[in-house]
Amino acid sequence: MTEQSTKVHVKPADGRLGVLLPGLGAVSTTFIAGIENFKKGLGQPIGSLAEMGTIRLGKRTDNRVPKIREFVPLAPLNPIVFGAWDIHEENAWQAAKRASVLRDEHLDPIRHELEQVRPMKAVFDKEWVRRLDGPNVKTAESKYALAQMLMDDIQRFREDNRCDRLVSVWCGSTEVHTDITDVHLDPDRFEAGLKSNHPAISPSMIYAYAHIMAGVPYANGAPNLALDTPALAQLATDKRVPIAGKDFKTGQTLMKTILAPGLRARLIGVNGWYSTNILGNRDGEVLDDPGSFKSKEVSKLGVLETILQPELQPELYGKIHHKVRIDYYPPRGDNKEGWDNIDIFGWLGYPMQIKINFLCRDSILAAPVVHDLAMFLDLANRAGFFGIQEWLSFYFKSPQTKPGLYPEHDLFVQKTKFKNTLRYIMGEELITHLGLDYYYADQK
């Protein structure tokens, strides 16, 4: 496969698409509720490139800027059906009411549709998410048996809903931090570990395994170690299943990957970046546990280093005091708030400061990411792509790459990669923004 502009063959998006969601909480229900509203012509899918995005083609003077949906063959909204697993038995309507992200005006018209989404029993282990517990949980002799039960769930869902294709996006909670150990190193050892109930295999790894084995494209929205183990990455390549991760990029980290590239672009030095977050939802409660916080912290801290490249510019970025705090603060509810203080310096070392206060809504920012990942993983699958989908880095705090390849955290590099990939798929010229021919073409 070269980078020439020859169109890739993409299978059509015919038939019914099923979207599976491990975790039926604030993010999932906000996502489902949005899609059900849009199906009825209510509301706008704001934040979704699949639904509202445009793409410039050709030269600046060509004025060719179609909607992405009109350019690449994406699955239509209408035959989409939803499935989920959760540790609570509440259906999507009840879960959405409890999450209290959306107002009644966005829930009442679709109550019936939400009530149909009843969670399957979850694979869950309190050792991995210490602040949560619930009754709707599978039990089995081994982790391998749990994986088989998930595969059965997937197969049953496919049949019951007459789905032609499936895709899955992890929307569950953040698990306790863990490092890669032997059991994660290749598919065989992983499978043996499942059978021997190896303690380093977490529930989210079992979901990932089950989906890959079932041939379902899969994305990981949490910082949990799962797809990014060598074992599961290799398995995805072996099974020719596209995967993408990890940790949805929303809120403060999104801001960081916008701002840091800007500072880097202009070579403004940074010697401190203090970030605090207050949030009051279930996510805040989970992250109040130091083990889960560790996972999130690692995911959040990596961002700056890769963007700022201290090894290339030690005078500018070699000594950054980077601190990330997350505090559980119930008055905020699902509305997350971030405050960043950034200490920067310029010409001759003179210091300046930037403060950013972001009053954001977690699930509102995450829902379109879930949708886009579902749409573009399904596209990737039909285009014959498989394994790590680095071009979807745009959506993740910790983008997964091939070993040996540093991740791109710069949102704008990610965007260029994403859009040039779409252009490549459709055989359009890649955009470089050189544009000298506008000025000199007629001079020669």
Residues 287-326 that bind a copy of itself (CB under 8 A): 312-313, 315-316, 321, 323, 325
Q: Does 43 bind a copy of itself (CB under 8 A)?
A: yes
Is residue 81 near a copy of itself by the rule CB under 8 A? no
Q: Which of residues 87-126 bind a copy of itself (CB under 8 A)?
A: 101-102, 106
From 126-134, 171-179, 296-304, 361-369, give the range in contact with a copy of itself by CB under 8 A: 361-369
Output phi, psi for 9, to 5 deg.
-80, 120
Q: Report if residue 10 touches a copy of itself, rule: CB under 8 A.
A: no
Torsion over CA: 182, 185, 189, 193 (sign): positive
Q: Which is nearer to a copy of itself, 179 or 439 (CB)?
A: 439
CA distance 369 to 361: 13
By CB under 8 A, name the one of 364, 375, 379, 380 that touches a copy of itself: 364
Nearer to a copy of itself among residue 34 and residue 119 (C-beta): 34
Smallest gap from Cβ 11 to a copy of itself, in A, equals 17
Residue whose CB is less far from a copy of itself, 58 or 199: 58
- Single out the residue of 20, 24, 49, 205 in contact with a copy of itself (rule: CB under 8 A): 49
Side-chain half-sphere exposure of 360, counting CA atoms within 13 A: 19
Closest approach of a copy of itself to the CB of residue 67, in Å: 9
The Cα angle at residue 26 between residues 95 and 241, in degrees rounded to 5: 110
In one-letter notation, the amino acid at residue 404 is G
**Residue with Cβ nearer a copy of itself (174 or 257):** 257
| Distance between CA atoms of residues 338 and 323, nearest Å | 13
Beta strands in 136-293 (DSSP E): 165-170, 218-220, 242-245, 269-279
C-alpha distances in Å from residue 406, one per residue of 31, 292, 399, 400, 409: 31, 25, 9, 9, 9
Helices and strands of the chain, counted as H and E runs: 17, 11
CB of 52 to a copy of itself, least distance (A): 5
Residue whose CB is less far from a copy of itself, 9 or 141: 9
Q: Which is nearer to a copy of itself, 132 or 411 (CB)?
A: 411
Q: In the complex with a copy of itself, which residue's Cβ is closer, 148 or 309?
A: 309
Q: Coil, helix or strand for 300?
A: helix
- Residue 411 touches a copy of itself, criterion: CB under 8 A: yes
Mark 387-406 with x for binding to a copy of itself (rule: CB under 8 A) and - for no binding.
xx-xx--x-------x-xxx
DSSP 193: H
User: Shortest gap between Cβ of 439 and a copy of itself (angstroms)?
Assistant: 6
Q: Report if residue 329 touches a copy of itself, rule: CB under 8 A.
A: yes
Given candidates 227, 360, 379, 392, which one binds a copy of itself under the rule CB under 8 A? 360
Residue 271 engages a copy of itself in binding (rule: CB under 8 A)? yes
Q: In Å, what is the CA distance from 438 to each residue of 62, 64, 250, 349, 441?
A: 12, 16, 37, 39, 6
Please report, as residue ranges, which positions from 183 to 212 form the binding site for a copy of itself (by CB under 8 A): none
Question: In this structure, what token pair is assigned to residue 256?
Answer: 């960081």
Using the contact rule CB under 8 A, the part of the chain among 91-99, 152-160, 290-298, 342-350 near a copy of itself is 342-350
Cα angle 289-291-294, degrees, rounded to a multiple of 5: 110
Q: Is the peptide bond before 323 cis (omega within 30 degrees of 0)?
A: no
CA distances from 178 to 11, 31, 125 (A): 39, 29, 14
Sites for a copy of itself among residues 216-255 (CB under 8 A): 254-255
Question: Which residue, 11 or 321, has its beta carbon nearer to a copy of itself?
Answer: 321
